[in-house]
Chains A and B, each alone.
Chain A
Amino acid sequence: MKKLDRLGWAAGLAFVSHGVHIGVRVNDPKILEQVALQLPPQSKMADSPEVDELCSLLVNTNSSGNGRVRRYNLLYWGVGRVARTLDRDEVFQALEALLHLVVSTRSPRKLFVRAAVVGWHGRAVVICGPSGSGKTTLAEALIRAGATYYSDQYAVFDSRGRVYPYPNPLTFRDADGDATKKCSAEMLGGRMGTKPLPVGLVVFTQYRSGARWRPGVLTEGQALLALLGETVPIRRRPKRALTICRRVAEGATVLRGKRGEANELAGPLLNRLCSIDHDRRLVLTSEA
């Protein structure tokens, strides 16, 4: 770290996101504005320069273009080098990915699960699946059907199993997994969620052309296992991950199955959530 500290750092910024204090220092003050664009959603600038995690970004400032000298753009996290590239855009993409990763692994009070999330009548629909499975497309269809947008990337749970907004722009990817388009929920005619919601429905699904939606209902144990498979900080805090995901699995209906076109599934999913709520109210009424 001392070697890194001795390099010429010209400027920096500090911010707080989900309880994690993060600092980014740079060798060129002009790029701070671009750094600020990579911050996770709902980040707040911090007054104090003391941080929990420190990121160092060295960009190639050689504008004269000496062809014989290759100056890499470098990104460090603590003392570990995360990225080394000649392409400046790539290093900023790495910075964005790294900041999301650190917040999702280091947050002291929240548990991050890879998922897209929308809200519907006071309950959350959590869409889990591997990268490229069509979570964003399904989230878009649900937003167009009237659901409230919460996140395209992470379901952020508190200790009670409620999900919070993490409103990054929806990122649509091509077949190679590269981001091709970003848009906000407002651009889709939707609204952003603001309040934490209990989870009503968790869906593990993957797009397959021509597939019919015939999901299986998972038991609570199966649901817990499936959720843990998408939990970001599970290796770091397994006990906490188990406890919070158990609360989610116990309180929600969890479905798994292949799906066809997203716009054909949006209505049935929201209707299912309504019927779950109706059945729950019936049970509560009969118990009372």
Chain B
Amino acid sequence: MKPSARQERLVAEQVGEELVVYDLERHRVHHLNRAAALVWQNCDGQKSIGELKKVLQTKLNPKADEGIVWTALERLGKAHLLTEAVSPPATMTRRQAFRKFGRVAALALLVPVVKSIVAPDAVKAAFGGPFFDCGGFYCAGVVCRDQCQFNFQCGFSMQCTVMPCNQFPCLGCSQRRCVPVSSPFRAPSGGSNVNPDSTPRSKKA
């Protein structure tokens, strides 16, 4: 089992030893404490569970064990921060993992924590849903209408993918459009390969 951290459509910000990650697809923000951040940043698809445990033992606490790793992976998977969700082996239930933590107070402080919130939608908060419903005709059919459906509709080295629309008043809605194909060979660094800060062009009326 060699888990891999998701890199696409994420923006990550290191703050101290913690990490905050914004999911551009789901508009959710995740806070990873030190333990969870270490596991996520080292999920490069090459390291096994045992190797991840060694990373935690070196950088976090020598008493870190596979229970911490599995707990972190489970929580990261639920937050859609891994390329594939993982399940702990039958020999390692969650109750067993937490019992281990409870026995050693120092380990209890090292429980991997992934806390998530939904990114606020300013427009919906101010004016409610009906006018600017992403699934409604106005946003889905006019402002944020899909520009493609399949990759072959895009040019060479381009792919049809879901991107944020960012067109007022449909802020927070998505649309499919052609973007350059991203390289599959980038090593996970805990940061993001995506620069979502596309400043909209100024409109002159």
Contacts and interface: CB of A to CB of B under 8 A. Distances in A.
B171 A235 contact: yes
Interface string B178-199: 0000000000000010011101
A234 B120 contact: yes
B39 interface: no
Contacts of B192: 239
B168 A78 contact: yes
A225 B31 contact: yes
Interface of A: 21, 23, 50-54, 77-83, 94, 97-98, 101-102, 104-106, 108, 219-222, 224-225, 228-240, 242-243, 246, 249-250
Contacts of A52: 202-204
Interface string B133-163: 0000010001100000000000000000000
A235 B172 contact: yes
B169 interface: yes
A224 B203 contact: no
B8 to A, nearest CB: 14
A207 B158 CA distance: 52
Nearest 3 A/B pairs, CB to CB = A221-B18, A242-B13, A225-B31
Contact of B127 (A21, A82, A232): A82
B52 interface: no
Contact of A50 (B117, B195, B205): B205
Given A97-B127, A224-B15, A228-B22, 14 more contacts: A21-B202, A51-B205, A54-B205, A80-B132, A80-B138, A80-B143, A80-B169, A224-B13, A224-B20, A228-B29, A236-B166, A238-B119, A242-B22, A243-B13
B89 interface: no
Contact of B164 (A220, A235, A249): A235
B168 A240 contact: no
A228 B20 contact: yes
25 contacts: A53-B203, A78-B168, A83-B127, A97-B126, A101-B123, A102-B168, A104-B122, A106-B168, A219-B18, A220-B15, A224-B18, A225-B115, A228-B117, A228-B119, A229-B29, A232-B120, A232-B122, A233-B171, A235-B121, A236-B164, A236-B166, A236-B172, A237-B196, A237-B197, A246-B15
